[in-house]
Structure 1
């Protein structure tokens, strides 16, 4: 898979390091950072941000700052974030990744399809438990013997430094799509 990846054909890769740097350069995340961050996150989505529910702002900011500090969140916290951001686990996962790319991977329909070999209907894709299991899978794959060679090749193909989570997610994203025959 890594050999078939061509970074010059991936326009969205240009914005990626800037999105990461935005959150990396913040000491902590405040409401303004949250609104800016979720807005640029949705520039990577096929849909617009229609619902930004700021009823639980303090709780949401607490969770996001914990993510920034390296804490893994649970299903309930993930559900709180999802409810805040367009009720979308996909959008939430992208924001989490931009905040902490070493512990959170991007989750979307193409990744789901590649890993599960079934259509990513919303009721499957949007389950917080599925995302938590995906993160556990990535942790397991990082420990495989062949991972180091794969990771080095992916970094070379992308053309700049990426995390292990990003390397695996990109491979899943670019993997052969499910063919329902």
Structure 2
């Protein structure tokens, strides 16, 4: 992400400090998270019914309601989601297809992708953007598939840094259950934005 000012190492040092101050809560999103992952993990493949159920519970994590599901390209959408489940990385064009289907929201789409494959896809939202860019997100930037792809590449780089392991172990301990490397980083960004707002570094 071009607007990052800190090195990857410095980001991880900051995230480790954030993890030390973070304590898991009984909030619904911590409680529901492993069940959402289990739903998709236990499926052999995703069909239309699974898609409808999945995007519906995904929107319980969204500040807005699920107003539109565009299923004109349902076969293509289901194929893409199964590709994601099977470890494929989708490109900008494919991501746009999914975004268009789900409320035209990249944020909502990123959450669904993460629930399907938490090893290779991370949740993307305004707080993550704010933490990484130290600026308020404009909707056109937040909703650009290219920016999300760059975000995934950044996460891949961060998890290969030497300082990552200490952060990851600390975050798993504080969450209280197993999480993936992508989830640990995204959660660190999310919490970090809240801490920045409160003046905690």
Task: Indicate the residue corresponding to 1:149 in structure 2.
Answer: 166
Structure 1 residue 96 and structure 2 residue 113: aligned? yes
Distance of 1:165 and 1:176 partners within structure 2: 17
Distance of 2:80 and 2:180 partners within structure 1: 22
CA RMSD of aligned residues (A): 1.0
Residues 57-136 of structure 1 aligned to structure 2 (within 5 Å)? 57-136=74-153
Task: Indicate the residue corresponding to 1:31 in structure 2.
Answer: 48
TM-superposed CA distance for 1:10, in Å, is 3.6
The 1:176–1:44 alpha-carbon spacing in structure 2 relative to 1, beyond 3 Å, is closer
Task: Indicate the residue corresponding to 2:35 in structure 1.
Answer: 18
- Structure 1 residue matching 2:118: 3-state secondary structure: coil
Structure 1 gaps of 5+ residues are none
Structure 1 residue 43 and structure 2 residue 60: aligned? yes
- Structure 2 residue matching 1:7: 3-state secondary structure: coil
Count of equivalent residues: 179
Distance of 2:101 and 2:115 partners within structure 1: 17
Distance of 2:117 and 2:86 partners within structure 1: 8
TM-score, normalising length from structure 2?
Answer: 0.87
Structure 2 gaps of 5+ residues are 1-17
Distance of 1:11 and 1:69 partners within structure 2: 28
Distance of 2:130 and 2:193 partners within structure 1: 9
Structure 1 residue 54 and structure 2 residue 71: aligned? yes
TM-superposed CA distance for 1:131, in Å, is 0.3
TM-superposed CA distance for 1:9, in Å, is 5.2
